[in-house]
Every structure is written in C-alpha cells, then in structure tokens.
Amino acid sequence: MAYFQMDNNPRKELNTMDDFTKYAMSAYESAKEYMRASMILLPHLSECSIPMMSNASFACELFLKTILAYTHTATEERQLRGHNLYELYNKIDDNNIKERIRKDTLEKQFDLTLKEIGKAFEVSRYIHEYKEMSCDVQFLYMLMNALHNECVELMKEKTNE
C-alpha cells in the first residue's frame, strides 16, 4: 500500500543478489526518465539550465548506482548512498567498465572533469545560494550517454547468460 505522505512509504530491502538486481532495474528506469527530461530541456538551456543540470546529473547518479547494483559491486545498501558522481564512479570495481565509460566521454582529463562536476546534483538544487556557477554541460551529457550505454550493455550481457 502506497501513502500520500511520501516518506512513509516502505523502502526496498536489499538483502539478496536478486534484490540488488531488481534495485538496478528500477534505478535504470528512473535514470532514463531523468535523462529524457534533461534532453527535453537542453534546447532551452538559457532559460532552464538549473533543472536541465539537475536532471542530467541525477540521471548520471542513477546510472552509476545501476552499474554498482547490477554488477554486484555494491553488496550493502549503504554503498548505494550519496550523490557524488566522482565517488560513485570510483566504487566501480570492474576496470573494463570504467575504461569504456572514460573512453565514451571523449574527455582527456576525465578524472579532473568528473571531480569538478561530481556534486552537480547537490549543488544545482541549491544554486540560489551561490554567487556564480558554471558547469561543463558537454561533459555532463557525454557522461550521461556513456553511463546509459554501459547500462544497456550490462543488461544485454545478463539477458544472454
């Protein structure tokens, strides 16, 4: 039963590998929605930069959490907490996955650039508290697409097993 008092709704329990796989699928579906919303806003960047950045960075976060849960890198719920993209990326223990993501962004200074936008979701929600702000939107979108592509490939592999 779902409640209108949103924070009273029960959270998913993550105890088994199957629980983490179901979490990954759910996170992936949510990430795709945030990605679509950010893509709709992109042509209106000058009027909607904050919600565009928030949606794109949250999509990245959810795609990263999908990878962590789907590959069973995360084995405890607390490992899926946090919003920092740099920290979530560095939790991925499969270097092949990390390298594919890195290459797909086409960014030569990947670690530095990822660190710079690592807190994009947190910061964009409170952008009114800052005097000025800038964001490498091109990298954010390249990262979002790279993460999405990696999730698609992971799910294809699991389906073919």
Render pLDDT for 18-36 as a digit per residue (tens, 0 to 9): 999 999 999 999 999 999 9
| CA–CA separation, 115 and 110 (whole Å) | 8
Give the dihedral of Cα atoms 141, 27, 61, 81; nearest 10 deg: 180
The two three-digit tokens of residue 153, written as one number: 């490939």
Note the pLDDT of residue 103.
97
Ramachandran assignment for 84, one of left (phi > 0), alpha (psi -120 to 50 degrees), beta (any other): beta
User: Residue 14: how many CA atoms within 13 Å on its side-chain side?
Assistant: 19
Q: Report whether 100 contacts 71 (CB < 8 A).
A: no
This prediction's pTM? 0.93
pLDDT score of 159 more than 80: no
What is the reported pLDDT for 12? 86
pLDDT at 156 over 90: no
- Residues 45-89: tens digit of each pLDDT: 889 899 999 999 999 999 999 999 999 899 899 999 999 999 999
The tokens for 126 are: 């409170």
Q: Does the pLDDT of residue 161 top 70, yes or no? A: no
Topology (CATH level 3) of domain 15-160: Four Helix Bundle (Hemerythrin (Met), subunit A) (1.20.120)
Residue-level pLDDT at 57: 97
- Cβ–Cβ < 8 Å for 153, 118: no
Mean pLDDT of the chain: 93
Residue indicated by tokens 């999509």: 59
Give the pLDDT score at 11.
86
As a whole number of angstroms, the distance between CA 113 and CA 23 comes to 28
DSSP reduced 3-state for 29: helix
* pLDDT the model gives residue 152: 97
Tell me: pLDDT of 3 over 90: no
Residue extents of the structural domains in the chain: 15-160
What is the rounded CA–CA span in Å between residue 137 and residue 49?
Answer: 9
Whether the predicted pLDDT of 143 surpasses 90:
yes
Inter-CA distances, 145 with 18, 57, 151, Å = 26, 11, 10
The confidence score (pLDDT) of residue 34 equals: 97
pLDDT at 132 exceeding the cut of 90: no
